[in-house]
Amino acid sequence: MPPSLSLPLCRERCYREDRNMPTNNPLLKVVAAEYVRDYTLRLTFNTGEVRLVDFTPLMQKGICRKLQDLEYFKSFRLDPFTVDWNDEIGFAPRYLYERGMAA
């Protein structure tokens, strides 16, 4: 999917980063997500690893500012690869994995 002007920057980066992963590595996916507190989610990846991700530093620019509304933040869902907010905001699973702390 080529970058589109209608997609937010964070979603464009999400899909670009995953497409560029080496083919000898399995595609990393978020398979479960749970709200913990404030702006932190517990994410389970298809590798079985669980990470706590604080989204606070990620919500300071552009469309990602919408995540500052706690009710909107809590309205996340899983798409086939990652956590998603209203088909507007999503982050590459590898990016979330690297930002997260082991749970």
The predicted pLDDT at position 3 comes to 39
pLDDT value at residue 67: 97
The predicted structure's pLDDT at residue 26: 74
Residue located via tokens 């300071």: 60
- Residue 25, pLDDT score: 61
Instruction: Say what the pLDDT of residue 24 is.
Output: 54
Domain limits, the chain: 9-102
Helix (H), strand (E) counts: the chain: 3, 7
Total Cβ atoms within 10 A of residue 40:
17
Which residue stretches of the chain have pLDDT < 50?
A: 1-9, 11-23
Tokens of 16: 């670009």
| Assigned CATH class of 9-102 | alpha beta
